[in-house]
Structure 1
Amino acid sequence: MTTRPKSRTPRPAADQPIEPPRGGLRAPCPCGSGKRYKQCHGRVRAGAEFVARPFEGLPHETDWVAFREIVPAATMRARTVDGDDVTFATVLPVAWPALRRADGSVFVGVQAADASADASRDLAAAMDAALAADGPGPVTHVDARRSTARLQDRLDLDTPPVLEVHEGFDFWVDGVLDTDPGEAEDPSDPLSALAPQVRASLERANAAVVPTEKLTSAESAYWCRIGDNVHLRWVIATPEDRFLDALARLHVTTVDGDTAGSTLGPGTRFAGFFRAYGLVVPVWDLPGDMSAEGTEEPLASFAERFQDALAVSDPLDAEQRRARAGLTSRQVTLR
């Protein structure tokens, strides 16, 4: 009987980064563990342990989550600790992680693909790559392994970001492209140099954009219209257990003896909620003719009732517990 000699090549340590195999992330890990690369040393290469609430500690944490999950076209202007002004956009042309324009302005795509298990670190790495670039151009790849800095380390937290929701993505090319698709004001600008590519990306993005408006009666609440359906999506930082307790208390009460306290009034319905980056995002279905402006007053009234319900510390009664169980099962999925 013969035995196969043991390999003299030691297996890489569990915390030692290994480059991905030629077969891609789903191929067997080169370390010989038998696992797929993405489930083995791919985790090490991608970075630190998963951060469930990556934007915690940033001003407007709930809006950072909204920009990642529910807002199609928007910008957030912020300042770094070094005094650089940076514009975070929900999406950039061709899904670039970041972009430095000819005038030196820097844009970062908030919805760009993750490079690690920490969205905050990914965005900081993309931002720093654009700030450090020798000249204008897109950042097409982010290696978050080369930096441990996060947005919480790199942004001036005493300067709140300035948010703006747009009807489309024309802000990509503001001041860059003139009315003639074949001409550009500044050939050194990456948006001009790639005008045909950018224009194609712009047309696709504008065709698919969901009309969205940021409401003022509650922080990080967004009205949107998807086809004939109208919704309210509200990103809140209240812990999930407390959110469900408060909503259950409201659900078994009525407003003006007519509608459940968990709704926003006649014709509205609490559809459910989902979780995003450690926060809860409840969703309401609204009547098709309910505008963003018309949603403000009902939302303000609900927000006041919700705060009152949060202040109650008594245990839920039997009816409220049944309501809570039903509300917990209302999980929604964005499509």
Structure 2
Amino acid sequence: MRAAVIDRTGGPDVLRIADVPVPEPAAGEVLIRVACAGVNPADWKCREGYLSHFMHYSFPFVIGFDVSGIVEAVGSGVRGFAPGERVFAQTDAGAGKWGSYAEYVPVSQDSVVPIPDSLGFAEAAAVPTPALAAWTGLFDEGGLKPGQSVLVHGGAGAVGTFAVQLANAAGAAVAATCSAARRDELMALGCRLTIDYRGGDIAAAMQAWAPGGTDLVLDAVGCGTLPNGMALLRPGGILVAILTLVIGDNGPDAAEAARRGVRTALAFSRMPSGTRLREIASLLGTGRLRPPRIECLPLEDAGRALDLVQSGKAATKLVLQIAEPGNL
């Protein structure tokens, strides 16, 4: 099968398109014939070795955290999945197993979820990692409840757009930072306030919107791009940062939080992820949640896709088209 593989960690030059054996599903695994693979910041960080503290690479290694496709086969002990069924998942790449930049990928059955009828393969592949990160930050770490307020920093990114929608669906009041060009889009997704991060006064806007401080700040950007984020919180509020793994980005300062009487947390999605993804799929199926804008590229452009994401020049959510839908 064709796959985008690395033989060592490093920069763009270590990624190559190769022919590798089709993997067999182990016990408890579903073998997915890949239609599309979502492209995430975690993918280039995986290529460069940022995840070596969390996983063991076995080279050649296929990268890719998000997948959509059809069930090709199942391993022993798997129940509830049949060949030909449309599914999507967060792969086991974070556990050191092959990822989704390939024509086939085996995934733990506990991470595999049927695709809602309303979604195509490309849209489904754009969902798992960013939506799960948003869910983890808002609810698992942030404890967001109906009637509370939240500021999503980086509201126009993939994680941010899911966070805005999930918080709105949960009955929270949502503010978000974004560029002026994305304001109308985020307001349509449920924001009550948008703040231009390039020229707006975030502190003043939040003070006017939530005079006593907001309950939750979800930092979906990191790297110090939200100055004085803790000052935006009410006493006892929480700042949750999405784990970036970028060198030098150590997340919020717990000591400062203690001095201010607020809390902090780091968010990263945990495997297996199927339980949360099923809840997300339900929201997608009812139309209460929409995937981000996407652009499809062929597998051969995997390197360019990673470069666009790493440089911040991707204007939309990028998805690799591994197989044409009519060929599945």
TM-score norm. by structure 2 comes to 0.22
User: Which has more strand, going by share of residues?
Assistant: 2
Larger radius of gyration: 1
TM-score norm. by structure 1 comes to 0.21
